[in-house]
Structure 1
Amino acid sequence: MVLTERKDLALLLESGRLKKIRAWRQSMVIKLLEEGKSAREVSLAISRFNEALAIEVCNYFARRFPWLKKCVFLEFGSGGRGEQVLGSDQDNGLVLPKEKLDEAQLEEVCQRIVLTLDGAGLPLCPGKVMISEEKWRGTLEEWKRKILFWLENPKERGPWQSGLILDFKPLYGEKEKIFQLRTEVLETIRKHPVIWRLLVEEILQFRVPLSFLGNFILEKKGEERGINLKKSILAHLINATRLLSLKYGFVKAHTLERLSFLIQKGHVEEKMGKELQNLWEWAQAKRLRQALEQKGEINFLNPHLLPKEEKKLLKKRLNYLQKFVDLVSMSANYGL
């Protein structure tokens, strides 16, 4: 986002026109889709818009509470990868300085930050992965300990998957130490086969929505039956790609960049890799369109309502996804 747009965001925040920020984001997405931009390009634009928003919200409160300048605002999950869509909720954390802060004021400011982001179009996280929750705040050393503890103790992580805490990046504040922390965490995973196997086992807890006979596996949501694009397709693809690229030392976060690396280095057959990239683009495009059209749950889709050829292509790509997950699973059995 260019500097003039950042200034406009700051002015809108100062005047409390959060609805205007929501409309700005939506009109930007409409324009990009009308121009024929890819799902990757649109998702990246949304992510950058949301990053700029988070930074300006932090700047806004730092002017009133200067101690916030000593903190680092972290972005997790899809925001950390640059893969957000309209309706992506908040996944954030806060790195605190070593010096003691006023607890009541800290709690108040964190609550106000997440509510401001919510008002500006970044919904509250249903899993409460937000700085308003004490567990998502801590000093740098506390963050290092808790991330490694969560990785080593899957049952302590809660309902969110490990991928959420592995794809993180700093948005506001001193960034260098956070990049060092991320490098340390990733290197720890690579050097400890037990943690690696736990991460692979986490992927295998959920099934790719395609049966052995090649039929779609549907879930029920209210009166409808369909596939959850995020949990049943993208989660498998993103998590498996992250683990395999990490195994070979590739640390960039975007799923398509990770897949390109794996293809280029020969770790994934080119045909499989391209089909997985196409699957990511397809699923993300569906989510973008459904969010824009406000068709209920943006992640839910009935594949039987798709045109015949599109349905056939989806089955083919889901078959490749299952083979890819199996490939990553085998890597756990043979270690790093």
Structure 2
Amino acid sequence: MSEAANSLIQATVEHLSQFAPFDQMAREHLLWMARKLTLGYFAKGEVILSPGQTDPLPFLIIKQGIVQGEQGIAQTQEDSAWLELHEGECFPLGALLADRPVTSVYRASSDVFCYALPAGDFLQLTRLSAAFHDFCTRRIANLLEQSKHLIQAGYSKASSEQQSMSSSLASVIRREPVTCTPDTSIRQALQRMEDHGVGAMVAVESLVPKGILTLHDVLSRVALAGMDLDEPVIRIMSTNLITLPPHAAAHEAALAMAKQGIRHVLVTDSGRLTGVISEKDLFSLQRVGLSRISTAIRHAPDLALLKQCARDIQQLARNMLAQGVAAEQLTQIITTLNDLLTTRIIELELRESPARGIEFCWLALGSEGRFEQTLNTDQDNGIIFALKDNQDPAALRAVLLPFAKRINLALAGCGFPLCGGDVMASNPKWCLSLDEWQTTFDKWIYHGGPMDLLHSTIFFDFRPLYGATHLGTALREWLQAAAPKNSRFLHQLAVNALRNRPPLGMVRDFVTGDDHTIDLKMNGITPFVDAARIFSLATGGTHTNTLQRLREIALPLNISTRDVDAYCQAFLFIQLLRLRLHHVQSEQGTTLTNRVDPDTLNNLDQRILKEAFRQARKLQTKLGLDYQV
């Protein structure tokens, strides 16, 4: 090979190494690819690839210029309805992997130079390079993982060996569990805990756990209770045990600790004890402990302490973000703790309230109803109550409304702003009996106007949070049966949803407002939320969480697992960007918003955000096709 040719190959490798997935590939594989590349030129407006093309497809990498993807209605189910590709991006991956024609027209929207790799060499490269194969088959997931690594490196200097909240409990277990028999004396059990330096002792029979004693229990159950130390230890042990299997994720243990207000979870395999997970195991780097917060909330005597707990939740969320906790898990944990906070406020207000005599259920709506709260969230809630013996709903409402007002104000004091649209339980419109809620929903479904459609996007994500949860369950079952019956209503929801398009630009990468920002919630998250809700209502889905809805509709709507995974990964990346944005704003002491200047994102995050918006457009395309919008 001539020196000039070798220099050109080296220059090509250096250029491509700036972009994913080539930045993750071994140099030998990049050199192998570079030697087989040819360079092609396409004038502005020229078609590069089209569905009618019969020649073998090449794998194309943009060296310079912009390529636009265009589609007709008939082809929109497989690929994005519209896309724009820039330097370093490659196409058409799906067609090459499936050995089929492209479903888009790829056109040069400026003068374009592309590297071309023959299809046979492309397939050979997927076999040679694991990194290249992973990118081609899991494009957005692969990019997201790269971004998460960068995020974690930027937020935290923790050891690379630090456990992830996605780790299995089996991988988190630090040591063999220290056990005793149920009839071991208290004295012997305590001595064994001291000898082994552990904070928990588990009583077992044939390795089946029967009880647990923690150092936290010793003060109240042994010292203060004046227990005879020769008594069997099982007498002072907690026997209401929380267990999880070894394959459960660490975040499941974290949620269990939060919900139950405990510090230890037992790991059991087929009923036999294999380990004990402590809060310290999960959150060794945290300054604020999850169970400490949940315990403090449960026992808070007044609003002042709950306000401090709300601040602790925010700090915990920031710590967990720095640890690299995934967006799905983090939003669930935030919502779970906010649920506990709301529950305690209700309990405190209920003590002296005449509402104690009414059977009611507090409803979580909007993002809280979907388990998708971030650090920036206002209130969306309502009340559903039961009528007995021909009671007058207006009379019960008159009792409940002042009670609800105090709760809404207390939540505002804890950092959850009052809803600007007055979607709160203290509004008489949203404090209704079961029959009244059904009548309201029925009106929206069969005779709804523009405001009713808007309300349905908030209220149809409801879930029961406190009280007579069977009332919320009954309303959900009614809605599951009623919504699919009216295709006109679902069509109207689809029309509304498709008015909000992801901000991908024809000239620039993103369409921004006058302040050169995009709204990650309205233009990024909401398209996924709206589409998932409509499809869930149409299929009688049982979930309110967007990711669970997307996974639940896959089978009835014949959506491929690959597409559902891509939708979920795209949604999660935008959620992660929101969490990062709120973290930075919080650290800077500025007002929390969802608006971000895309130019402040690094190249990798800009690329993933574009891909995430394309996935939103693809999901919207299916919505438009299904409802002929």
Normalized against structure 1, the TM-score is what? 0.89
- String of CA shifts for 1:250-299, please: whole Å, max 9, x gaps: 32122112223344667323443222212211111122222223254431
Work out the CA distance in 2 between the residues paired with 1:275 and 1:291.
Answer: 24
* 1:219, distance to aligned residue in structure 2 (A): 2.0
Return the letter of the residue paired with 2:411. L
Residue in 1 that maps onto 2:546: 255
Whether the 8 Å contact between 1:21 and 1:121 is mirrored in structure 2 is no
Gaps of 5+ in 2: 1-257, 262-290
Q: 312-321 or 243-252: which moved more? A: 243-252
Say whether 1:274 aligns with 2:569: no
What SS is found at the alignment partner of 1:253?
coil
Work out the CA distance in 1 between the residues paired with 2:309 and 2:329.
Answer: 20
Residue in 2 that maps onto 1:81: 370
Which of 438, 441, 450 aligns to 1:144? It is 438
Greater per-residue strand proportion: 2
What SS is found at the alignment partner of 2:384?
strand
Say whether 1:35 aligns with 2:323: yes
5 Å matches for 1:213-292? 215-220=509-514, 224-263=515-554, 267-292=558-583
Whether the 8 Å contact between 1:87 and 1:123 is mirrored in structure 2 is no
* 1:18, distance to aligned residue in structure 2 (A): 3.6
Which of 112, 118, 123 aligns to 2:412? It is 118
What SS is found at the alignment partner of 1:2?
helix
| Percent of aligned positions that are identical | 25
Return the letter of the residue paired with 1:42. L
* 1:302, distance to aligned residue in structure 2 (A): 1.4
Work out the CA distance in 1 between the residues paired with 2:408 and 2:550.
Answer: 33
Judging changes above 3 Å, is the alpha-carbon distance between structure 1 residues 33 and 9 closer, same or farther for their aligned structure 2 residues?
same
Which of 411, 425, 446 aligns to 1:131? It is 425
Greater per-residue helix proportion: 1
Return the letter of the residue paired with 2:616. L
Residue in 2 that maps onto 1:194: 488
Q: Which has the higher contact order (CA 8 A, sep 6+)?
A: 1
Whether the 8 Å contact between 2:364 and 2:462 is mirrored in structure 1 is yes
Work out the CA distance in 2 between the residues paired with 1:140 and 1:262.
Answer: 28
- String of CA shifts for 1:213-263, please: whole Å, max 9, x gaps: 67311123xxx2211111111111111022223333432122112223344
What SS is found at the alignment partner of 2:544?
coil
Work out the CA distance in 1 between the residues paired with 2:620 and 2:352.
Answer: 49
Gaps of 5+ in 1: none
Q: 298-307 or 85-94: which moved more? A: 298-307
Aligned structure 1 segments of 4 or more residues deviating by more than 6 angstroms: none
Return the letter of the residue paired with 1:140. L
Whether the 8 Å contact between 1:12 and 1:20 is mirrored in structure 2 is no
- String of CA shifts for 1:176-233, please: whole Å, max 9, x gaps: 232121121132111111111111111022222113567311123xxx2211111111
Say whether 1:56 aligns with 2:344: yes
What SS is found at the alignment partner of 1:12?
coil
Judging changes above 3 Å, is the alpha-carbon distance between structure 1 residues 63 and 203 closer, same or farther for their aligned structure 2 residues?
same
Work out the CA distance in 1 between the residues paired with 2:478 and 2:564.
Answer: 28
Judging changes above 3 Å, is the alpha-carbon distance between structure 1 residues 13 and 275 closer, same or farther for their aligned structure 2 residues?
farther
What SS is found at the alignment partner of 2:543?
coil
Whether the 8 Å contact between 1:242 and 1:255 is mirrored in structure 2 is yes
Say whether 1:23 aligns with 2:276: no
What SS is found at the alignment partner of 1:17?
helix
